[in-house]
Structure 1
């Protein structure tokens, strides 16, 4: 009888065979200055590959220049083909698959290089853009919406051609597609607003366009926010409808996350407030002032517990046929065993892998392995650091 942890057994994600069930979660790395991938991004992801995970996710692959939250985000077009192919090839050489997280910022952006206002489901205040003088976001016209669908289609074609093994469409965390799903950010009166059926229209049209482009034998995942944690926003009942609609539309897997980047980010992280970490690396004076003004209210500490999304994710797991990829407080061999026993198919790890890039190899040696991650949330602020995202507790002096 083998003592191998069952999370390390091979599994199928749609048509894709993964050597185990552990996936690096998509997080914006801030390792692509001026939007160009290079050795820093390569070393970051090959570190996880060498540590034994089955697939890593390159975070926030903007589907267009308009969809990039800032000028350092990857934009999926021919300008980065060769360096991106080099990164993906290096990961593949270490027996690891690569997923690309497809995103569009919609109405919140601080990408001043565009010299125009961002557009989303509805117009209004652009919170993230205040420090850059980009106070206002505009409402997308029907023509803008069709352009957005085509941006996803073209990005999917490009991403498959450069070697990605899977695509993860970001439907959550307050980004562009989530802005259509949420009644807090979608105040439209046309066929893209109002009822849940209407608010789902664009996300489903994007999924259909991506599927048409990559074909039925290519895995597509979707990350959703199971709740926004704000009165009048998306809640767990809404998430059930969203997940069932994505499942019926042929998605291969759903990543069950929560919270939003601009309204309730602590739902994603749990633990101590991320405010001190944000202040440590924020250099813009206006943004530092705003953080000090509203940060305590916006980023309240929330108790951390392992598997903090499990009960809500279980409901979705039981309601759909596609694979469910759990995310949220999985940091030990016992956590993964609990998830397997509950019927989850794969696990995305974020903070645990930043602290222990060799998590999978450690689990292979000890099925009861517990990550060193302290859930201190200091890593969150490092997204804005010169080094990019990393665990400052254990890798403060390492050149990523």
Structure 2
């Protein structure tokens, strides 16, 4: 039976506790995709407040995979020095930080990339504009680009990298039959649909070696009638484990889902929390690498149960730490009151106009 505040490790990363700050786009990168001092300060605050592992917001490996303005980018060697400034600052506070890598694929922003987004197949979902089906040359190039970006992450002294394979971004699109309707070796059954993510992982391992931690964020299921199922996701987890993955952060849902999306709203009681918990129990029984569970965790008692019952090895949170960066430190000190986050998602809306922050908390502070 594990404890929330015991020291653990993931392929050499020594972690002070079992809490993970799940990756979140903060809208605080500069025009080159580099971290700004403002973003560095936010992440350092998390380290100061005892978050065991910090995962950056999603970071594109090529400009044509950019999804949002002010998004981080790991596509340039010239940016390594700026990322080193970030990791140096976090490490100075005894924090651990992992770089999350992504390509938006279907959900890349056509205006930001000044072109037609790539996708596994030429499908039209939710009335999105045209998408170009990826050629095998496109696939080969992206395998190399992810490997290059991973190497940059290692050179910038990140403690590891995480591949964003969830929520409907490019890896998730290849895994999902909703998006992947290819008829070559990258489409069809789940082993074929997983071929691209597995090849990327193998390419990364060649570039960074066996001792550099590589994680993945993976949907337990898409919660869409035509999407990835739990049974298929478990198979993907096994493929990735065999290919050298070090840990899985389990999430779920697609950006296009209305209610069953990755960031569900109105979490008002403990029964609403940890909404991927049942899937995690099944997943945990099938894989041997560490499992991180994200999804609506707000209560100390729920986090404690997840670890003590071996549902997962780590508890991952985002929105509560946007509102309360000191939440983990507060819980460690014995104040086990529930996180004050109301799961309204106003923090993300704020990001479209300026940066991600909790406007509810800000309004309360002003009124007080």
User: Which TM bucket (shorter chain)?
Assistant: over 0.9
Give the deviation of 1:310 after TM superposition.
0.7
**1:314 touches 1:342 (CA, 8 Å); kept in 2?**
no
Partner Cα distance (1:183, 1:118) in 2: 19
Partner Cα distance (1:36, 1:304) in 2: 39
**1:259 touches 1:267 (CA, 8 Å); kept in 2?**
yes
Alignment: residue pair count: 361
Alignment of 1:374-385 (within 5 A): 374-385=342-353
Partner Cα distance (2:114, 2:321) in 1: 37
Match of 1:219 among 213, 222, 227: 213
Structure 2 partner of 1:329: 296
Question: Is 2:44 the counterpart of 1:46?
Answer: yes
Partner Cα distance (2:70, 2:271) in 1: 31
**1:304 touches 1:375 (CA, 8 Å); kept in 2?**
no
**1:126 touches 1:136 (CA, 8 Å); kept in 2?**
no
Question: Is 2:286 the counterpart of 1:319?
Answer: yes
Change (3 A) 1:304 1:185: farther
Change (3 A) 1:375 1:70: closer
Question: Is 2:194 the counterpart of 1:197?
Answer: no
Structure 2 partner of 1:60: 58
Note the alpha carbon deviations across 1:30-58, whole angstroms, 9 max, x for none. Answer: 11132232111111111111111112111
Change (3 A) 1:149 1:87: same
Partner Cα distance (2:290, 2:132) in 1: 36
Give the deviation of 1:71 after TM superposition.
4.7
3-state SS of the aligned residue for 2:90? helix
Question: Is 2:261 the counterpart of 1:267?
Answer: yes
Give the deviation of 1:370 after TM superposition.
1.8
Moved more, 74-83 or 136-145: 74-83
**2:291 touches 2:314 (CA, 8 Å); kept in 1?**
yes
Give the deviation of 1:264 after TM superposition.
4.6
Partner Cα distance (1:383, 1:254) in 2: 27
Moved more, 375-384 or 150-159: 375-384
Match of 1:178 among 172, 179, 183: 172
**2:27 touches 2:69 (CA, 8 Å); kept in 1?**
no
Change (3 A) 1:231 1:339: same
Alignment of 1:3-18 (within 5 A): 6-18=3-15
Question: Is 2:274 the counterpart of 1:307?
Answer: yes
Partner Cα distance (2:288, 2:224) in 1: 29
Structure 2 gaps of 5+ residues are none
Moved more, 76-85 or 22-31: 76-85
3-state SS of the aligned residue for 2:254? coil
> Alpha carbon RMSD of aligned pairs, Å?
2.2
Structure 1 partner of 2:230: 236
Give the deviation of 1:272 after TM superposition.
4.0
3-state SS of the aligned residue for 1:100? strand
Structure 1 partner of 2:115: 116
Change (3 A) 1:151 1:307: same
Structure 2 partner of 1:280: none
3-state SS of the aligned residue for 2:227? coil
TM superposition score normalised by structure 2? 0.92
Moved more, 157-166 or 34-43: 34-43
Structure 2 partner of 1:252: 246
Change (3 A) 1:304 1:151: farther
Structure 1 gaps of 5+ residues are 274-300
